[in-house]
């Protein structure tokens, strides 16, 4: 029952219910000190007096005082009275929480970078988690190998060799928390080796540029032409980041001659190629282009993740590393986060070896291919002046706008109609790009919203 306690000139509102008397007393005293109601140095009543006021046992009050002394709220000298500790108390304006980020999902979202999250195989994933946890030894739940669980590295080695032609053994895989995290660790390794910059495609993920520069490295932009990155311009950079299977965001595959050139550059200069195979599972019109890494496993880091094939929220990816880099990455990783979540790792291993991963990727590939075809048809019909490229693979297409259609204006107009699209500009490294285009992520909307999103995009681009 609430009661007000007035003594030593202080009113305290106390909720003293049942067995929670002591906890309630402590909470009330903490609040009073924190709020400044009881100022520094304030002398508290003796435990005997307060116990009598409150009609509780004296020990309850004495214990509460002792607890708050241990926590530093109060001070007590032997044989003297209990007081509010010095310099503790005034409400702390610096502790004010920051404002939450703006919430609210747009009605229609064609932003690139996400698969259809509504297609995440929840039941199959949970079933794999159950099987994985039933089979895992207790020790698996402890601190482990910074490379990741052996079950997952074995499963990945089999999958990547089979599906992507990667030259890989379980021993040279490091499980990461997604591509960006792998790039973070690699950037720190490059910097620790004395490197000062990374060659990066002039169109690419701004977040990746930020990751590299946060490690103290400069970015050397490498122009991209119709054959992909102009790898001859890697120069003497100690590392170069490429998206060979499907340039992000422009969408072409790196020309075979360029692949060979990049490998030759790595062999000649000792530079490291980082192959970002972010959507290698999704190729629609012919067999997937195999990983470039297999051409020179001693010089290429192969990197992938489940962010496009399953869900970015899992934060699981992998690096396949040349022997020379492996030890440095393994040494650098524990300083950041030791290793990835073990239960997720074991679940993914079970999901791959049980065939669930392949089934999911196959289903997703069919669904995205159908979306890709519908996107191409819709724009050919509604906006034939818009040139759609980069659609042989992946989850996004480039919609090149004709002269006179300004990218920013189109993006703004779309937003006014509840449709989120992104312009190419934000992906360019070097100021204003030479073309106006939208980067359309056609995998992003859930199925029920795809038709509506497409209709709005068509209407938007039809109006010139």
Cis upstream peptide for 243 (omega within 30°): no
Q: How far is CA 148 from CA 139, 170, 173, 219, 318, in A?
A: 13, 10, 8, 30, 9
Q: Whose CA is closest to 22, among 57, 59, 60?
A: 60
The two beta strands, 108-109 and 419-420, are parallel
| Per CB under 8 A, 165 contacts a copy of itself | yes
Piece in contact with a copy of itself (CB under 8 A), picked from 51-59, 140-148, 392-400, 423-431: 140-148
> Which of 17, 214, 218, 232 is close enough to bind a copy of itself by CB under 8 A?
214
| Per CB under 8 A, 114 contacts a copy of itself | yes
Report the first-to-last Cα separation within the chain, whole angstroms. Answer: 71
| Per CB under 8 A, 371 contacts a copy of itself | no
| Per CB under 8 A, 133 contacts a copy of itself | yes
Total count of residues recorded for the chain: 464
d(CA 14, CA 11): 9
Closer to a copy of itself by Cβ: residue 199 or 291: 291
Q: How far is CA 303 from CA 35, 70, 171, 173, 273, in A?
A: 52, 51, 15, 10, 10
| Per CB under 8 A, 211 contacts a copy of itself | yes
> Which of 24, 112, 113, 204 is close enough to bind a copy of itself by CB under 8 A?
113
**Residue partners of 212: CB distance under 8 A and separation at least 6:** 183, 187, 198, 200, 219, 241
Closer to a copy of itself by Cβ: residue 267 or 464: 267
Q: Whose CA is closest to 183, among 225, 226, 224, 213?
A: 213
> Which of 49, 140, 163, 455 is close enough to bind a copy of itself by CB under 8 A?
140
| Per CB under 8 A, 80 contacts a copy of itself | no
| Per CB under 8 A, 404 contacts a copy of itself | no
Q: Whose CA is closest to 184, among 313, 308, 333, 342?
A: 333
| Per CB under 8 A, 32 contacts a copy of itself | no
Q: Which residues between 277 and 316 bind a copy of itself (CB under 8 A)?
A: 286-287, 289-292, 294-299, 311-316
Q: Give backbone dihedrals phi and psi of 71, rounded to 5 degrees, phi first.
A: -85, -5
| Per CB under 8 A, 73 contacts a copy of itself | yes
| Per CB under 8 A, 135 contacts a copy of itself | no
Q: Which residues between 171 and 200 bind a copy of itself (CB under 8 A)?
A: 171-172, 177-178, 180-181, 184
Q: Which residues between 314 and 353 bind a copy of itself (CB under 8 A)?
A: 314-316, 322-324, 326-327, 330, 332, 334-344
Closer to a copy of itself by Cβ: residue 71 or 236: 71
| Per CB under 8 A, 126 contacts a copy of itself | yes
Q: Whose CA is closest to 304, among 464, 182, 169?
A: 182
| Per CB under 8 A, 396 contacts a copy of itself | no
DSSP 170: G
> Which of 13, 20, 43, 130 is close enough to bind a copy of itself by CB under 8 A?
130
> Which of 13, 122, 381, 464 is close enough to bind a copy of itself by CB under 8 A?
122
d(CA 18, CA 8): 26
């Amino acid at each position: 029952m609430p009661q007000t306690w007035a003594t030593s000139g202080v009113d305290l509102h106390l909720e003293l219910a049942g067995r929670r008397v002591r906890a309630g007393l402590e909470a009330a005293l903490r609040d009073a000190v924190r709020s400044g109601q009881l100022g520094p140095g304030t002398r508290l009543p003796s435990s005997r007096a307060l116990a009598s006021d409150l009609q509780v046992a004296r020990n309850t009050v004495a214990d509460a005082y002792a607890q708050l002394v241990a926590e530093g709220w109060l001070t007590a000298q032997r044989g003297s009275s209990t007081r509010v500790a010095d310099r503790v108390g005034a409400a702390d304006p610096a502790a004010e929480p920051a404002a939450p980020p703006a919430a609210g999902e747009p009605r229609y979202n064609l932003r690139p970078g996400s698969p259809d999250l509504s297609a995440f195989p929840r039941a199959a994933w949970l079933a794999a988690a159950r099987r994985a946890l039933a089979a895992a030894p207790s020790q698996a739940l402890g601190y482990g190998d910074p490379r990741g669980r052996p079950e997952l590295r074995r499963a990945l080695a089999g999958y990547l060799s089979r599906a992507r032609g990667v030259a890989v053994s379980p021993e040279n895989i490091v499980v990461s928390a997604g591509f960006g995290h792998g790039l973070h660790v690699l950037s720190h390794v490059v910097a620790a080796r004395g490197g000062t910059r990374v060659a990066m495609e002039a169109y690419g993920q701004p977040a990746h540029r930020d990751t590299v520069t946060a490690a103290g490295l400069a970015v050397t932009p490498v122009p991209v032409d119709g054959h992909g990155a102009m790898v001859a311009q890697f120069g003497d950079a100690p590392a170069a980041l490429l998206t060979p299977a499907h340039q992000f965001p422009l969408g072409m595959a790196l020309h075979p001659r360029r692949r060979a050139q990049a490998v030759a550059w790595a062999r000649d200069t000792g530079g490291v190629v980082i192959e970002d195979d972010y959507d290698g599972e999704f190729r629609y019109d012919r067999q997937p282009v195999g990983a470039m890494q297999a051409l020179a496993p001693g010089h290429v880091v192969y990197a992938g993740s489940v962010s496009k094939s399953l869900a970015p929220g899992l934060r699981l990816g992998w690096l396949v590393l040349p022997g020379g880099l492996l030890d440095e990455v393994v040494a650098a990783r524990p300083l950041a986060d030791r290793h990835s979540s073990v239960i997720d790792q074991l679940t993914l291993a079970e999901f791959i070896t049980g065939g669930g991963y392949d089934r999911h990727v196959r289903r997703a590939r069919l669904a995205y291919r159908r979306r890709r075809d519908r996107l191409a048809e819709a724009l050919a019909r509604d906006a034939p002046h818009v040139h759609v490229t980069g659609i042989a693979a992946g989850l996004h297409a480039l919609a090149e706008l004709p002269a006179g259609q300004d990218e920013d204006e189109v993006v703004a107009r779309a937003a006014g109609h509840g449709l989120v699209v992104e312009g190419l500009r934000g992906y360019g490294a070097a100021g204003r790009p030479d073309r106006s285009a939208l980067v359309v992520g056609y995998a992003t909307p859930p199925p029920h919203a795809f038709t509506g999103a497409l209709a709005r995009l068509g209407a938007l681009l039809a109006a010139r």
